């Protein structure tokens, strides 16, 4: 295969045309650069799509992680975002609509040495893939999930999606959608996610930091990305991403830091179980009155996640929750190897041979 082509072989082999160390002068511990993670495939997203920003950010992050390319796998479902594996010069698979969680679970369990990223969209993961996404969350498989949320079906030309707002007029809802939308962060928290975060396509620095944190976390690192579809749902997130409104309408929170925004002139305090905005310039309130966030508190994460398209409160971006707990792949392999005690006397060979059998 010519140098630079994406490999067709199984995981574990080095992609042709590159050495493990990469060229000198790399960006990270691996000695590789963004160019080493850029495939020879033409990127076939619409000009101006937010997907480009996510792709560029991931390609810039990869060399800094110090992971050999032959150990990295990108697996996607179906949708505009799911073309992602074609554009990464690593191993990967463009899989089945909504079923990427099952594939990545099997791959990580059988090959725990691999660094696996799952790419999905709001339609792919929250519609046909809704059942699968909740189960990978509760199992806590050690991998990263990037969910592109543009609140529309882009690949099939503009139907409403599970995250489209009420009243959304699309080709499939000409009178306006009457469905109540999913809140992705609240959904994965309800499914016992161990790491949930949100970022945006128009803030690559923040996106890179959040993706790195998801990667460094041992467990299922779920990251929702607000991603603009400039063809079928343009400006869906502009109040949070544009310079004129971003300061007042978006809050970027951090662990053990007070919830302040608008250049430090406003903050959020907890009144009972509700967040309320306070003015930090009029003398009645100070930074000390603002809620100091704790990303290890599921209760606070649930409250903050419910700040969703709120007219009086800013939209939150950052790590909502993280919880250190055993991963599915570690436990399966420990059970198979006898490291942890088996509760039953099961035998796979006996199970397959029991009862009526036929020879074909």
Q: How is residue 285 annotated by DSSP? A: -
User: Cα 347 to the chain's mean position, in Å?
Assistant: 37
Buried b (16+ CB within 10 A) or exposed e, 109-122: beeeebbbbbbbbb
Backbone angles phi, psi at 260, to 5 degrees: -125, 155
* Cα(360)–Cα(352) distance, integer angstroms: 15
Beta strands in the chain (DSSP E): 72-76, 91-94, 115-121, 143-149, 195-200, 220-226, 250-252, 260-261, 266-271, 274-279, 315-322
Q: How is residue 292 annotated by DSSP? A: B
**Sign, Cα dihedral of 173, 178, 184, 188:** negative
Q: What would the pLDDT profile of 55-70 be if each residue is shown by its tens digit?
A: 999 999 999 999 999 9
List the domain boundaries for the chain: 34-236+326-332
Residue pair 46/232 in contact (Cβ under 8 Å)? The answer is no
> What is the CB neighbour count within 10 angstroms for residue 31?
17
* Low pLDDT (below 70) residues in the chain: 1-30, 342, 346, 348
Residue 29's pLDDT is: 53
CATH of domain 34-236+326-332: 3.40.50.970
pTM above 0.95? no
Q: Cα-atom radius of gyration of the chain, to the nearest Å?
A: 22
Residue pair 310/301 in contact (Cβ under 8 Å)? The answer is no
Six-digit token pair at 260?
């302040």
Six-digit token pair at 22?
């990469």
Mapping DSSP onto H, E and C, the string for 162-202 reads CCCCCCCCCCCCCCCCCCCCCCHHHHHHHCCCCEEEEEECC
Residue 9's pLDDT is: 38
Residue 107's pLDDT is: 97
Beta strands 266-271 and 274-279: pairing type? Answer: antiparallel
Maximum C-alpha span of the chain: 84
Q: What would the pLDDT profile of 213-259 be if each residue is shown by its tens digit?
A: 999 999 999 999 999 999 999 999 999 999 999 999 999 999 999 99
């Amino acid at each position: 295969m010519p140098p630079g082509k994406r490999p067709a072989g199984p995981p574990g082999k080095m992609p042709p045309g590159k050495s493990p160390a990469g060229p000198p002068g790399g960006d990270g511990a691996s000695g590789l650069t963004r160019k080493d993670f850029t495939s020879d495939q033409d990127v076939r997203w619409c000009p101006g799509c937010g997907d480009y920003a996510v792709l560029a950010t991931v390609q810039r992050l990869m060399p800094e992680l110090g992971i050999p390319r032959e150990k990295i796998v990108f697996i996607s479902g179906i949708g505009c975002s799911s073309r992602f594996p074609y554009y990464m010069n690593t191993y990967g698979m463009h899989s089945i609509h909504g079923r990427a969680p099952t594939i990545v679970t099997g791959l990580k369990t059988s090959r725990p040495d691999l660094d696996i990223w799952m790419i999905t969209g709001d339609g792919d993961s929250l519609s046909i893939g809704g059942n699968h996404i909740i189960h990978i969350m509760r199992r806590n498989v050690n991998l990263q999930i990037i969910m592109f949320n543009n609140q529309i079906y882009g690949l099939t030309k503009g139907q409403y999606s599970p995250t489209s707002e009420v009243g959304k007029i699309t080709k499939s809802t000409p009178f306006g959608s009457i469905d109540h939308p999913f809140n992705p962060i609240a959904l994965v928290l309800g499914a016992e996610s161990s790491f949930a975060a949100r970022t945006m396509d128009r803030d690559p620095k923040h996106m890179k930091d959040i993706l790195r944190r998801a990667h460094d976390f041992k467990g299922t690192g779920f990251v929702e990305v607000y991603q603009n579809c400039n063809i079928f749902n343009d400006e869906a997130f502009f109040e949070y991403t544009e310079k004129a409104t971003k300061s007042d309408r978006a809050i970027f929170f951090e662990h053990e830091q007070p919830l302040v925004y608008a250049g430090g002139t406003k903050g959020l305090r907890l009144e009972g179980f509700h967040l309320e905005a306070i003015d930090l310039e009029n003398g009645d309130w100070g930074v000390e009155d603002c809620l100091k966030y704790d990303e290890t508190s599921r209760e606070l994460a649930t409250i903050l996640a419910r700040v969703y398209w709120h007219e009086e409160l800013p939209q939150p971006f950052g790590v909502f929750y993280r919880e250190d707990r055993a991963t599915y792949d570690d436990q399966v392999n420990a059970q198979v190897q006898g490291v942890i005690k088996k509760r039953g006397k099961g035998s796979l060979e006996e199970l397959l041979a029991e009862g009526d059998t036929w020879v074909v």
